[in-house]
């Protein structure tokens, strides 16, 4: 099996394309099953966030695997394969490992160093585990990516400022208030992970009083109690919108929650002397209808706006330190991967040796029926010990050689020299533990 990652992010696609490609949490199990039902895909993990949609797969061939992934993504999103091509990036084997480790460490994030991606990756991995679409290869890859992300945050200062998509959006929102955002009233629409992060971030920034609303009142109540905010009934959303300065919307709704018509009605209820209503739309698909941004008195900051701004990147020394961690961890994973390729071949060689010994013992027993059971056992143990001792040094050495760059040739040479039949499924199933879980 080989590793393949295919995706689109804020780097390659606008928010309009990303919301077409976005895969709702409820749809991920079905998409995963559709992926592993394809002829070239054996394992799959799907990561869908506000600024990226990616598929990680274990495939039996590059071109076939790529075609299978693209077909499933196109079918689910309704975007033609030809239209997808201009927005997708593709990474294979070593490049796929490096890309995922960069993602997990925050190097590829819109806000470099943000830690939220670790939780999103963990959720993607758990979804694949629940759907039984992550085999030994992707289990190890995802576990190691989470470990690499934790290491990057623990050993460097890349997230020292606590930056996130929410802090970046608030930074832009501050441009629209003459005296800053401190003390400004705010409403959070949505009580999921992003809603919780928004409440925490706004609280630290001195924004308040804070209100939160959600279709499920219980979730809004829990978050309001945790952060000292006020829960607002979802039926009272319009009244709440008319009485705040900042709105953070991060729901999982398939259609816009804040339509142009709704916001126009809200503006009509606001005093002409009030500052503009600044809406931070952190949802994909978008919660704010695109043409609502044209209304006077409304400022909409969405994922496209954040991608264009990308302020205050971490210091070069901090990102360089993370780059070094990623490079070292990629080398470590690839060494394990090369060693994993040789494992089923070594197992097949030992099996072949056992078969030869057993056949010769059977011939000996037929020729010498006078041997006692104890004598037969002594001969059997002696022969097996001789074979194991002969195989020990070369098999240990070939594992060492296989773990080095270019070591993938040794498995093929062993199979050729000893005429070993190692089925592909056996190779995939025989992946050893790399050690350490997240």
Instruction: Return the CA Rg of the chain.
Output: 28
Q: Which residues contact 430 (CB under 8 A, 6 or more apart)?
A: 340, 343, 344, 347
Element (H, E) at 267: helix 260-269
Distance of alpha carbon 59 from alpha carbon 68, whole angstroms: 10
Sheet holding 230-232, edge to edge: 230-232, 210-213, 186-189, 246-249, 277-281, 298-301
Per-residue pLDDT of the chain (438 residues; tens, 9 = 90+): 889 999 999 999 988 899 899 999 999 999 999 999 999 999 999 999 988 999 999 999 999 999 999 999 999 999 988 888 889 999 999 999 999 999 999 999 888 888 889 999 999 999 999 999 999 899 999 999 999 999 998 898 777 655 788 888 988 899 898 888 999 999 999 998 889 999 999 999 999 899 999 998 999 999 999 999 999 999 999 999 999 999 999 998 889 999 999 999 999 888 776 788 999 999 988 999 999 989 999 999 998 888 887 655 555 777 889 999 999 999 889 877 776 667 778 888 888 888 899 999 999 999 998 999 999 899 999 998 898 888 888 887 877 777 666 666 777 788 888 888 876 443 334 333 444 434
β-pairing, 41-48 vs 52-59, is: antiparallel
Instruction: For residue 317, give both structure tokens.
Output: 């020394």
CATH node for 2-155: 3.30.460.30
pLDDT of residue 110: 85
DSSP type of residue 274: S
- How distant, in Å, are the alpha carbons of 57, 111, 282, 402, 432 from that of 333? 16, 26, 34, 13, 12
Please identify which of the residues 22, 28, 50, 231 carries the catalytic annotation: 50
Cis peptide before 79 (omega within 30 of 0): no
Distance of alpha carbon 6 from alpha carbon 202, whole angstroms: 34
Q: What does the DSSP assignment read for 134-196?
A: --HHHHHHHHHHHHHHHHHHHHSSTTTT---HHHHHHHHHGGGSTT-STT--EEEE--SHHHH
Q: Are 125 and 149 in contact (CB under 8 A)?
A: no
Q: Which residues contact 73 (CB under 8 A, 6 or more apart)?
A: 6, 21, 53, 55, 79, 84
50 catalytically annotated: yes
Looking up tokens 């879980």 gives 437
Predicted structure pTM score: 0.74
Element (H, E) at 299: strand 298-301
- Is 165-309 CATH 3.40.50.720? yes
Distance of alpha carbon 229 from alpha carbon 223, whole angstroms: 8
Distance of alpha carbon 49 from alpha carbon 36, whole angstroms: 21
Locate the domains of the chain by residue range.
2-155, 165-309, 323-429
Distance of alpha carbon 367 from alpha carbon 360, whole angstroms: 11
Cis peptide before 139 (omega within 30 of 0): no
Looking up tokens 């097949």 gives 348
pLDDT of residue 438: 40
pLDDT of residue 229: 94
Q: Are 4 and 69 in contact (CB under 8 A)?
A: yes
- How distant, in Å, are the alpha carbons of 46, 62, 194, 312, 380 from that of 111? 21, 31, 15, 9, 65
Distance of alpha carbon 95 from alpha carbon 118, whole angstroms: 20
């Amino acid at each position: 099996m080989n590793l393949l990652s295919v995706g689109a992010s804020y780097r390659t696609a606008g928010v309009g394309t990303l919301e077409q490609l976005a895969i709702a949490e409820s749809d991920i199990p079905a998409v995963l099953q559709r992926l592993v039902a394809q002829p070239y895909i054996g394992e799959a993990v799907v990561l869908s966030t506000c600024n990226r949609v990616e598929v990680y797969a274990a495939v039996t061939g590059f071109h076939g695997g790529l075609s299978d992934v693209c077909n499933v993504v196109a079918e689910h999103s309704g975007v033609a394969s030809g239209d997808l091509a201009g927005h997708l990036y593709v990474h294979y084997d070593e490049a796929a490992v490096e890309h995922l480790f960069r993602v997990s460490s925050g190097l590829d994030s819109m806000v470099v160093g943000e830690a939220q991606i670790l939780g999103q990756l963990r959720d993607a991995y758990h979804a694949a585990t629940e759907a039984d679409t992550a085999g030994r290869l992707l289990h190890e890859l995802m576990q190691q990516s989470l470990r690499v992300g934790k290491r990057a945050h623990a050993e460097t200062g890349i997230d020292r400022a606590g930056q996130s998509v929410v802090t970046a959006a608030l930074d832009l929102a501050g441009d629209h208030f003459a005296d800053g955002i401190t003390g400004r009233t705010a409403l959070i629409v949505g009580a999921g992970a992003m809603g919780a992060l928004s409440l925490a971030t706004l609280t630290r920034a001195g924004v308040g009083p804070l209100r939160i609303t959600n279709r499920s009142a219980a979730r809004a109540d829990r978050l309001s109690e945790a952060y000292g905010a006020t829960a607002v009934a979802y039926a009272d959303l319009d009244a709440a919108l008319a009485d705040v300065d900042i709105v953070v919307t991060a729901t999982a709704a398939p259609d816009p929650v804040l339509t142009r018509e709704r916001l126009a009605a809200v503006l009509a209820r606001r005093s002409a002397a009030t500052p503009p209503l600044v809406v931070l739309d952190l949802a994909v698909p978008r919660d704010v209808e695109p043409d609502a941004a044209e209304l006077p008195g409304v400022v909409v900051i969405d994922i496209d706006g954040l991608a264009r701004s990308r302020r205050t990147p971490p210091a070069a020394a901090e990102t360089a330190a993370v780059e070094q961690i990623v490079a070292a961890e990629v080398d470590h994973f690839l060494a394990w991967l090369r060693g994993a390729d040789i494992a089923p071949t070594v197992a097949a060689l030992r099996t072949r040796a056992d078969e030869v010994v057993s056949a010769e013992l059977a011939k000996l027993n037929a020729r010498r029926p006078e041997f006692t059971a104890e004598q037969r056992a002594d001969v059997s143990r002696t022969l097996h010990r001789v074979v194991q001792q002969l195989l020990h040094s070369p098999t240990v050495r070939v594992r060492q050689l296989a773990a080095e760059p270019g070591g993938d040739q040794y498995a093929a040479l062993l199979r050729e020299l000893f005429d070993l039949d190692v089925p592909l499924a056996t190779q995939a199933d025989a992946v050893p533990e790399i050690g350490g879980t997240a």
